[in-house]
Amino acid sequence: MFSGDSMMLKLKVCICVVFVVITEGFASKLNCEVCINVIEKFSKSLDTDARTNPQKIENEFKKFCLNSKGRENSFCYYLGGLDTSATGILGELSKPLSWSMPAEKICERLKKKDNQICDLRYDKIIDLNKVDTRKLPVKDLKKILNDWDETCHACIEKSDYVRRIEELKPLYLNKEL
């Protein structure tokens, strides 16, 4: 009986180890989603001449960052790709990129230099045709109104925000289509 229990314990440990290994890659993609997406997009935009030259990569990244918005702009700021950046760690991007290192590995290295890089997240997109606004958190309801440049001065409770969004929904959903 003891040997059967130890076999079950070993089996459970093996399953846990396999689960951790499988989910590790998925978790890193979620943890550094902005970093990975920006680096992949930037890497695809590079011509073959610039791909192997770290200095050209840095110059191209600064040009790339001029058109960035939102979280991608914040990523550029953290790396030093903007004129307003306080610091610059572009070398930590350009050298590994010139060696054709994968974006996930570059982001792991950048995270060691600045934790904020992997803290960046894209805002989640809410499809109002498919979601029940009564089930959304107040934070998301406020974001919807803010995205529409609308306010709700009389809103005190969640139900007030839901009512306001439902009033405005026909105006904004028709524009988006």
pLDDT at 18: 47
Q: Mean pLDDT for each 10-residue chunk of the chain (177 residues)?
A: 61 53 42 94 94 95 93 94 91 95 96 92 86 93 91 93 94 69
Sign, CA dihedral 93-99-103-107, equals negative
pTM score, whole prediction: 0.63
DSSP 128-166: TTTS-GGGS-HHHHHHHHHHTT---TT--SHHHHHHHHH
Residues 48 and 108 in one domain: yes
CATH code of the domain in which 110 resides: 1.10.225.10
pLDDT at 127: 87
C-alpha–C-alpha distance, residues 25 and 31, integer Å: 10
Q: What is the number of structural domains in the chain?
A: 2
- Both tokens of 103, joined, read 């974006």
Within-domain flag for 49: yes
Instruction: For residue 41, give its domain range.
Output: 32-119
Q: How many residues does the chain have?
A: 177
